[in-house]
Amino acid sequence: MQTEIMTPNELKKFDPVFGQLSFDNHEQIVFCNDKDTGLKAIIGIHNTVLGPALGGTRMWQYNSEWEALNDVLRLSRGMTFKSAVTGLNLGGGKAVIIGNAKTQKTPELMLRFGEFVHSLSGRYITAEDVGMETKDMDLVRTVTPFVTGISEEIGGSGNPSPITAYGVFMGMKAAAKFAYGSDVLEDKVVYVQGIGNVGEALVENLTNEGAKIYISDINRERLEEVRDKYSVTIYEGNNLYAEKMDIYAPCALGATVNDETINQITAKVIAGAANNQLADENKHGMLLREKGIVYAPDFLINAGGIINVYAELENYGRQEIIRKTENIYNTTLEILTNAEAGNMTTHQAALAVAQARIDSRKKEK
């Protein structure tokens, strides 16, 4: 799917909302505005066939409202497929708040946002995303029950990052099994790009397995902190993609598999936590396939976080969270096998599994 932002002139040729390139088959888009608190937010509900649309709230200083709309359309669609492929009874939604989370996020603004979430009567359930913290969700919880990712002290599931990392690790093992015939990662050279919350927890899993780990990050302090804790090497070069490695784990930004990098990548496996790793799902998915690189779809293997918050709704415990996250291994292997058999990209194969679940539920209904 195309996700580029159009220029204002290009936009004039289209309907401004339904004509957006990222408009898929979204059920409902809610524009939330409140002058008193400065709130400008958009809630995107992509699909509710499998259940309420759950997805985090991102606060970001977008360059334009079009950019914010495009982001919420793209992200909410992604949530539909993430939950569907993971086997959760959830639909896909997401919210964006336009503004600087460091300077414009006030308690009043968050409470007003919570009221808008509440007005949707549970069709949309929010959670944390970029620019949000657990304490913001705790505040939203005071005005609506339709929020997850709240503190453990008030019944929440706590920090999702270690579970996300465990799911990525499971997906990586499955991809290694497919590419190398064994899921043992001992002595495999793995580059972890971005050692934030998820990246560091992934490093911990990889360390326990005996992988040869290289880490890269734009934050030098983080690099040194992680190096002092684990047996890893800091990557000091400036073009990680061309380095000789077995596995590339993008855990920072999206779109790192793009026209510029794709021909440099030497890894046989790509498996990481970052959302939207392929700059162009179809084009780059196909190129990876042609190059024989096994790509574990991001929205499938980074689903640990949503499994974790889903526990708050379904009241299941730690053991079930781990079991569901471990199952990412089986689903990944199944999808990689389907992709090969069906002459599809792995991304398309994962979407097909998700879509089949949605279609079959729709029929039942």
Ligand X SMILES: NC(=O)c1ccc[n+]([C@@H]2O[C@H](COP(=O)([O-])OP(=O)(O)OC[C@H]3O[C@@H](n4cnc5c(N)ncnc54)[C@H](O)[C@@H]3O)[C@@H](O)[C@H]2O)c1
**Site for ligand X contains 164 (CB under 6 A):** yes
**Site for ligand X contains 277 (CB under 6 A):** no
**Site for ligand X contains 194 (CB under 6 A):** yes
Chain centre to alpha carbon of residue 19: 25
Concatenated DSSP letters for 201-224?
HHHHHHHHHT-EEEEE-S-HHHHH
Distance in angstroms (rounded) separating the CA atoms of residues 145 and 150: 11
Instruction: Answer yes or no: are the C-beta atoms of 334 and 175 closer than 8 Å.
Output: no
Least distance (Å) from ligand X to the CB of residue 292? 26
- Six-digit token pair at 88? 């959760």
Is residue 135 annotated as part of the catalytic site, yes or no? no
H or E, element range at 248 = strand 247-250
**Per-residue buried b or exposed e for 245-261, using 16+ beta carbons within 10 Å of the residue's own CB:** bbbbbbbbebbbbeeeb
Other CB atoms within 10 Å distance of the CB of residue 272: 30
Q: Which is nearer to ligand X, 89 or 159 (CB)?
A: 159
Identify residues 322-341 at the interface with ligand X (CB under 6 A). Answer: none
Selecting among 82, 94, 173, 268, the annotated active-site residue is 94
**Site for ligand X contains 252 (CB under 6 A):** yes
Is position 195 annotated in a ligand binding site? yes
Is position 194 annotated in a ligand binding site? yes
User: Helices in 251-315 by DSSP H: which ranges?
Assistant: 281-290, 298-301, 304-314
Please identify which residue in 218, 224, 229, 291 interacts with ligand X, judged by CB under 6 A: 218
**Site for ligand X contains 216 (CB under 6 A):** yes
Please identify which residue in 44, 52, 92, 160 interacts with ligand X, judged by CB under 6 A: 160
**Site for ligand X contains 302 (CB under 6 A):** yes
- Six-digit token pair at 309? 């918050």
The binding track of 4-23 with respect to ligand X, each residue x by CB under 6 A or -, is: --------------------
Least distance (Å) from ligand X to the CB of residue 133? 12
Say what angle helices 65-86 and 318-341 make with each other, to 10 degrees. 90
Size of the site for ligand X (CB under 6 A): 23
Is position 198 annotated in a ligand binding site? yes
Annotated binding residues for NAD(+), as ranges?
A: 194-199
Active centre residues (catalytic): 94
Annotated binding residues, as ranges?
A: 194-199
Contact residues for ligand X (CB under 6 A)? Answer: 160-161, 164, 193-199, 216-219, 222, 251-253, 273-275, 302, 305
